[in-house]
Amino acid sequence: MNIITTRFFKKNSRHFVSVCLIIFASCSDQEPVGSPDAQVTTEQTVYEWKMITSWPKNLPALGTSPEYFADIVETMSNGRMKIRVYGANELVGGLEVFDAVSQGVAEIGHSGAYYWQGKIPGTPFFSSIPFGLTSYEQDAWLRYGGGNELWKELYAPFNLIPARGGNSGVQMFGWFNKEINSLEDLQGLKMRIPSLGGEVFRRAGGVPVTMQVSEVFTALQTGALDATEFVSPYNDLAAGYHTVADYYYYPGWHEPGSTLEAIFNKERFEALPEDLQAILITGTEMMNQLLLDELTAKNNEALRVLVEDHGVQLRRLPDDVLIELRTISDEVVEEMAQADEATAEVYASWKTFKEGVMNYNSIAEEAFIEARKLSSN
């Protein structure tokens, strides 16, 4: 399926859907869709599901990808699976997605695993760890390094099945109303920054705030927040943060490759016919790649607009600040790993994979990027 996605979907989504339908039909006991012997009747069950998200509905990439997921699932299922998408606060609050899907208020959710750390200590490993894995490294650990299996084990007691539902790539550190020239400038700063990044920020002297995305703009505008992180230029431009903050800092040490999750109500998912289960999971895989591709393609132009058209002050965090944040991050992650036996198991898997992939990337991605810089001078 990955080969099909890569080669065909970018060129022609209709062609890709046709290929998917043929594959699913050939792998089942049913006749292929469109076969002369296929029996399509009005008695065929149509499932109408709800999907709730943690994002404003029309937010580029994060908000629009679930709509794409719903459309492609309906097409691949030949109309047997219809999904209505709700943005944050339309059905439940953006930070209530986990509980709502677990309880069956909606069948599917789209959010970030690190929001649920208070329920399951190890969830940040399934979204992003400060100074941790990049997007493709994170995807590789989940798919081939044992991450997916551990993720499913942790969510099963909550009547949930998790799946990859997108990745942000390396994020920006965020928007500030003052320059950051040293660690001293972080002292007492109120910043919207969730999960482990927030804990690192707290230990560095800041005041982390967990707040759903729809409330952040007003909080910055009124001074309730001094700073915020969100994602990257494409999303941040759409959110309008450049109108309420002057300085835009990088790199996003706190979220180097954040996986977004699609979560399914386990009981209702397993009650579906197997072909619809396969279609839903395939839809999440497509959404996972689509979201990263869109952000990668759009971020550069959005950054140009922010800097050249809106006069945003782009700044890199000083090295001494990054070094201190890295030291604190290592301490925070080590402490989290001791929360319970399950988290320790996840940490061991993640750490082993990280050490291996970093070793290889030192002579692969990193070496190539350095070589590319040299060749352009």
For residue 315, the model assigns a pLDDT of 97
Is 117 annotated in a binding site? The answer is: no
For residue 228, the model assigns a pLDDT of 97
Is 313 annotated in a binding site? The answer is: no
d(CA 85, CA 101): 13
For residue 375, the model assigns a pLDDT of 65
Is 192 annotated in a binding site? The answer is: yes
Adjacent-strand bridge partners of 110: 53, 262
Is 230 annotated in a binding site? The answer is: yes
Backbone angles phi, psi at 254, to 5 degrees: -75, -25
For residue 283, the model assigns a pLDDT of 98
Is 171 annotated in a binding site? The answer is: yes
Helices (H) and strands (E) in the chain, counts: 14, 11
Report pLDDT digits (tens) over 10-53. Answer: 334 443 444 344 344 444 444 444 434 434 444 689 999 999 99
d(CA 311, CA 315): 12
For residue 65, the model assigns a pLDDT of 96
**pLDDT less than 70: residues of the chain:** 1-43, 375-377
Cβ-proximal residues to 198 (8 Å cutoff; 6+ apart), any chain = 208, 209, 210
Domain ranges of the chain: 2-170+257-297
d(CA 172, CA 259): 15
Say how many CA atoms lie within 13 Å of 107 toward its Cβ: 18
Q: Is the domain 2-170+257-297 a CATH 3.40.190.170 member?
A: yes
Token pair belonging to 23: 């594959």
For residue 304, the model assigns a pLDDT of 98
- Concatenate the DSSP letters of all residues of 107-151 into one string: SEEEE-GGGGTTTSTTGGGGT--TT---HHHHHHHHHHSSHHHHH
